[in-house]
Amino acid sequence: MKQPSGRYVVTVQAQPFRKGRHYYWIVYWEHNPDELVSWGNAPTQELAEMAALIEVTNLHSGLSRDGQVASMCYSGIHHC
């Protein structure tokens, strides 16, 4: 997924992780793709996409100051 979101571009990539996959999302500037704005990971693609879109919303509204999220850990079943 590569989707422009105003001033930001969001990508989601799958990476092998133990016996499964982890999905990493990255938000970067549309006019400067080398400048990382925010990133994180999730156990499913849907959760990664949702987390990235929430982060973009927070960035647009000013709720996220620097944007960096180390990781998102979920135990059991997580419903958003």
**Domain boundaries along the sequence of the chain:** 2-61
Across 14-20, average pLDDT: 86
Q: Which fold has domain 2-61?
A: GCC-box Binding Domain (3.30.730)
Question: How far is the C-alpha of 42 from the C-alpha of 60, rounded, in Å?
Answer: 22
- pLDDT tier, 71 (very low <50, low <70, confident <90, very high otherwise): very low
pLDDT for 36-54, tens place per residue? 888 999 999 999 999 999 9
Which burial class, exposed, middle or buried, applies to 67 when counting CB atoms under 10 A from its CB (0-12, 13-18, 19+)?
middle
Phi-psi region of 46 (alpha: psi -120 to 50; beta: other; left: phi over 0): alpha
pLDDT band at 12 (very low <50, low <70, confident <90, very high): very high
In single-letter form, the type of residue at position 56 comes to V
